[in-house]
Structure formats: C-alpha cells, structure tokens
Structure 1
Amino acid sequence: MFRHVVLLLLGAHLVSAGTHSLRYFYTGVSGVNDFPEYTSVGLVDDQQFTYFDSNTKRTVPKTEWIRQNEGADYWDRNTQKGIGNHQTFKNNIQTLKERFNQTTGVHTFQLIYGCDWDDQTGETNGFRKDGYDGEDFLILDLKEMRYISSVQEGFLSAQKLNNDKGLIEINRNYFNTECIDSLKKYLEFGKSSLQKTVSPQVSVLKKSSSSPVKCHATGFYPKDVTISWMKNDQEHHEDVEVGQPLPNEDGTFQKTSTLKVTPEELKKNEFICVVEHQGKTFREILKDDSLPIIIIVGVVLALILLAVIGVVVFKVYQKKKGFRPVNASDDGSNSSARTDPQA
C-alpha cells in the first residue's frame, strides 16, 4: 500500500550491464501552506534528471547530461504537461474528498509510472500505480490492460478508464515501445555519469554502552550494496535490522544496518561489519573500547524532497506493476489524472 520511482542502438556504448529503470513520480497536495500543490520528478537508474513544481511552473534539468542533450522544445513540452497535471490533480483531490466524505485536512494524490529494461536478456516491464492519502487507489494491470481499484471509492474511476479504448491503446504503445525507447535514449545521454562507481565510506558506530551498534555505509553509487555482520569470524544474523538505501544530496546513497548486542557480549566477542559493493569488500571492526560516536544526521533536505515528490510513496511500488498517468473527465468525476506520459 502507499505511504506518506526515439530508439537508440546503444551497442558498445551502453552503460553498465544489468537492469535499468525510468521512473516518474507525480504528487498533488492540498491543505498545506507555503508548499507546491503539485510536483513531478523523473529518475533514470535512481538518478533524478527532471523536476517540475507548481510554484515555479517550469520543468527543469537536474543533470548536465539531460541539459546538454535536450533542447527548448523538450522543456517547453514537459512544462505544459506539468501545468496541465497541476490543475488535474487539484480536481482529482477535490473529487476524492467528496467520495471519501472529507472536508478538511491535508490530502495527497500520488502517481508513479515507468519501465525497466534488462540489457542482457532484453526483458522489459512497465508499471503504473496511483494512490490517495497514502493508500492504494488504482493499478494498471498491463497483462490484461485494465485498471483495478482496491477500494470501493475507486471503482467508478476504474470503470471509466477501462471504457476509454483510446486510452488503453495509448497505454499499450507507451509501455511496449515509447517508455523503453526513452529509457535507452537517456542511458546513452548519461552513460558517463550513470556508469560511474563510487565506493562507500564505512563506519561502525555505537552511541553508548547500552545502545545498538550501527554499521553505516555512505557516499556509494550505484545504490546496490550488501551489509552483513560477523561475530568472531562467523556469520551473524541474530538481532540484525538492515535499512533501505537512502539518497544523499550529491547523488550517492547511504545505508545502515543495526545490531542489538549487550555490553557483556561486546566484551567477550569481536563484531565485524562487512560491506560489499560492486565486487569490493569493506570490513570495519567494533570492539568494547571503541570511542563514542557522534549521531549521524541524515541528509534531511534530500529526504524531505523525496517525501514531497512521492519518491517514497508506495509500498506496492516494489511489486513493479504497470503505470501510465490518466485524465479527469470534464465533469470532474474521474479521480485519476489522464495526462500524456512524460518521455
């Protein structure tokens, strides 16, 4: 459930092998002062490359590789899409407030769509999900090419969208062709940046004798990293909690693993944090005489931005089922924005 990411033949120029992704996140908000009513962000392989909000009313580049390779028409076209989405999202929130019998409070309407491509197998996937107030609302089933709602308030929206044969055909073309073509194009544009590898800085941290032990890896790219623990040179899995990768402001990532250990265990044993990233292994030892550490302050600005744009929007996002934004009907009764997908 939701909680408050032209065909080019790349050949030898392809960025690092594996699965690549193109993501768009749209978020509409009501009831919050001094905050954009609508934001959208685009990401390629988890790197943000476009941004729009309803205050600035402009789609802008967030990387040099997209700035250098797309001209004024591209930015004007996506700016107009953002302006249109802003009004549509306002209408959708108002409609859903009526359906859910709400009159006041903060409310959000959120959408995520995009595609994945494995450059080794050629396998592709598309997905589209949207939600209201942090809960599932609509999902596009790409196999059946139909919209599904998990809540009664969304049944009418799903019915309207499924009866729109033109929209269904647009979705089919977008996810089968256009999204993947755009992803390959952006991978070519950003190959020098997207294929970079930055190793993590690893620290083993303990605030006090009674606090949990934290292994903190930061500053690494790409975001896939494994953190594990060893106790006296043996693998240790008890009382271990591993967090999710979080973004840093510079485009790298951070991740933390927490180990609960008593002072008595720490005196008698040696604990080692093992971090594996891009074929390299990093080991840090924690002993009872380790110095107290300063509490790590997360990259607050980056996390707030992701909360705003809906990057950390959907738990169901991990299931990777289809998406493509949709439009409100003229009478405002359709509660899902039908907008042209952003390529």
Structure 2
Amino acid sequence: MRKLLLLLFFCPVSSPVKHTLKFFFTGSTGISDFPQFVGAAEVDHMQLASCDSNKKIKPKQDWVKKIIRSDRQQLDWYKEECFVIQPNFFKATIDHLMKRFNQSGGVHILQRMSGCEWDDETNEVNGFMQFGYDGEDFIAFDVQNLAWIAMKPQGVTTKLRWDADKAGIRHYENYLTQICPEWLKKYLDYGRSSLLRTDLPSVSLLQKTSSSPVSCHATGFYPNSAVMFWRKDGEELYEDVNHGENLPNHDGSFQMSVDLNISSVPPEDWGGYECVFQLSGKKNKIFTRLDKDPIRTNSEGLSYTTNPATVVIAVVVVAVVVAVVGFIF
C-alpha cells in the first residue's frame, strides 16, 4: 500500500504577528430567562473571561485569574464596566432607539465590539469600535478622525449626538489607543505559554463517497491564521476548489479544510496534485499528495473527521461571542 506523502520543512523563523484584544458587549430586552447584559473578552480568538448583569465575572483561563488577583485596577475596571457603566448605557440606548424607531415592544438587541490590534514588529496599533442594533451594523467609531460613522441612515442622529460629546470621544480614543494596547501586551505576557505557541496540525484526506470532492482537512493547529490550498504541478489551483471555514476545536486549537473536485481528474493524473498547509508568517509547510489509498471515506464506517478527540467543533464557545460576531462579520 502506498503511503501518504507527508513532508515537513522545519525552518522556523521569527515573523511579525498581529495580536488582537476584543471586548464583546450585548444588551437585550424582551428575552426571558436571559441576562439583560452580557460581556466577553478575548485575545487572539482565545476567550479570557465573561460577565453578565447577574454580577458574575467568570475567568476562562488560569492565567487570567492570576492577573485579576494581582492587578486590582483591572478587576475594578471589569466590575464597573460589567455591572454599572455598560448595563446602564445599553439599557438607555436601547430605550432611545426603540422610541426613535417606533418600537413599542418585542425582542431588541444592541451589541458592541471594541478593541485593538497590535503589530509586534512595527508596534503599530489600530483601535476599533462598532455597534450593531437588531442584527445590523449601526454605527462605528473612526479612531483616526475621532468621529462616528453612521452605517445606515437611521444612525445619523446618533452620530451627530455622539460627535458632540467631545469628552466621550477623548475617552474612547484613550481607551482604544492607550489602555487597550497596554492590556493586550500584559495578557500576551501572562498567557504566552498558550497565546504565543505554535502547533502544526495533522492533515488527512477525506471523502464522503467515491464521487464526492476530496477534502484536505487540517486539525490541531495554532494560531488560527493559516493558509491551505490545492496545487497541481506546483501551481496553485483556483478552479474546482472550495475553501472551508477556519473553525475552533474544543481544546483551543483550530481546524480547516479545502475541497478539490476530482470528477474530471483521471486517476493516472492524481500524482500531480497536492494539498499545502502553512501557518501564516511561518516557513513550515505540510505537503499532502493526492493518493487514493490514504483517503478516508464514510464507506469505511468513519466519521467525516480526522481525530474525534481534536476535531469536534467547539459549539460550547460562549454563545454571546457567537451572537455578537454574527452581526459584524
């Protein structure tokens, strides 16, 4: 039996990486048995902590607990933001928007994503803040020009009112360009064993049936920034190729796949095709040659995964993060 050709090039090099710290806040009305306000924080797609209007802060990583114990300022900030400032702000804003849109009742949701991105090589910092209302983009903060941008006509009134609040604009500028990057660097330092690690994946060829596309599936890699593609005779393919999503695993690693339609590829030409995986900014590559023998199929009684222990999609990622990211992306 021919074996799957798997070549690893171990030539590690240092490369610039952009790290992000994001805060997700969601206020709602009309939803029974659900907190009116919930929040979550994440660094590089790893959830740090969550909180809600029931006055509970839940660290998700051991090193986050260490930060909270050693830095009273951060604990006080989270308590004030999660239990006082943001719940009151979100409730007042939802009430205001419901009146403006002539909404007398029902379920309404206001969401905010804010944070910063830091390039560890150039030291460049980019802050961002965006609001969504009832599942649609509503208004965003332009950090460069220190002004709000209405993302739909109904947001113009809010833009004019918030633009006039000069103290609020200065506060957001300081928060996004000074406080956020400082905290991001602190988190990276405390959590470097998990946040700054590099894990290469296991790669498998999967196929549902003999006539289905062949899926090149990589799982267990970290960080989540990676590229994977099919190529023929050294040239990347764009036709008959379908790229899947980059999805989280339950253990904090990630998985992704890229499908190749082989309906028009005769078996004797398979040897010229290979799947390439590479973590962004790294030189390490994994080449997986298209070969019939190693392909795993449903007909073999196998699930459409490589390793059930690591491939299971992390559906237990906090629901608030999923809901918030939905309206933005």
What TM-score results when the alignment is normalised by the length of structure 1?
0.77
Tell me the amino acid that sits aligned with residue 295 of structure 1: Y
Tell me the amino acid that sits aligned with residue 275 of structure 1: F
Greater relative CO, 1 or 2 (CA 8 Å, sep 6+): 1
Check the 8 A contact 2:218/2:255 in 1, yes or no: yes
Deviations 1:274-307 (A, max 9, x none): 1112432223344455341423463322284531
Aligned match for 2:328, one of 305, 308, 314: 314
Check the 8 A contact 2:188/2:196 in 1, yes or no: no
Partner of residue 267, structure 1: 267
1:34–1:16 CA distance, 2 compared to 1 (3 A): farther
Tell me the amino acid that sits aligned with residue 277 of structure 2: V
Partner of residue 284, structure 1: 288
Q: 210-219 or 137-146, which moves further after superposition?
A: 210-219
Q: 298-307 or 124-133, which moves further after superposition?
A: 298-307
- List aligned pairs for 1:1-343, cutoff 5 A: 17-55=16-54, 57-71=55-69, 73=72, 74-84=74-84, 85-103=86-104, 105-231=106-232, 234-262=235-263, 264-265=264-265, 267-270=267-270, 271-277=273-279, 278-288=282-292, 290-293=295-298, 294-296=303-305, 298-302=313-317, 304=319, 306-308=321-323, 310-315=324-329
Check the 8 A contact 1:59/1:76 in 2, yes or no: no
Tell me the amino acid that sits aligned with residue 136 of structure 2: E
1:59 alignment partner, SS class: strand
| TM superposition shift of 1:126 | 0.9
1:250 alignment partner, SS class: coil
Partner of residue 322, structure 1: none
| TM superposition shift of 1:17 | 4.5
1:133–1:83 CA distance, 2 compared to 1 (3 A): same
| TM superposition shift of 1:232 | 5.4
Deviations 1:150-185 (A, max 9, x none): 223212211111111111221222233222222222
Runs of 5+ unmatched residues, structure 1: 1-14, 316-343
Deviations 1:5-44 (A, max 9, x none): xxxxxxxxxx985222211111223444444432211112
| TM superposition shift of 1:69 | 2.5
CA distance in 2, matches of 1:225, 1:39: 31
Tell me the amino acid that sits aligned with residue 283 of structure 2: G
Greater Cα radius of gyration, structure 1 or 2: 2
Check the 8 A contact 2:248/2:255 in 1, yes or no: yes
1:301 alignment partner, SS class: coil
Check the 8 A contact 1:59/1:75 in 2, yes or no: no
Tell me the amino acid that sits aligned with residue 276 of structure 2: V
1:269 alignment partner, SS class: helix
CA distance in 1, matches of 2:233, 2:21: 43
CA distance in 2, matches of 1:172, 1:77: 17
Identity level (%): 37
Tell me the amino acid that sits aligned with residue 116 of structure 1: E
Partner of residue 323, structure 1: none
CA distance in 1, matches of 2:155, 2:177: 26
Deviations 1:89-130 (A, max 9, x none): 233333323333344554321111111222211211111111
1:120 alignment partner, SS class: coil
CA distance in 2, matches of 1:136, 1:176: 23
1:96 alignment partner, SS class: helix
Check the 8 A contact 1:266/1:288 in 2, yes or no: no
CA distance in 2, matches of 1:195, 1:119: 12
CA distance in 2, matches of 1:17, 1:236: 27
- Count of residue pairs brought into register by the alignment: 298
What TM-score results when the alignment is normalised by the length of structure 2?
0.80
Q: 247-256 or 159-168, which moves further after superposition?
A: 247-256
Check the 8 A contact 1:16/1:195 in 2, yes or no: no
Runs of 5+ unmatched residues, structure 2: 1-13, 306-311
Q: Give runs of ≥4 in structure 1 deviating > 4 Å.
A: none
Check the 8 A contact 1:231/1:269 in 2, yes or no: no
| TM superposition shift of 1:234 | 4.5
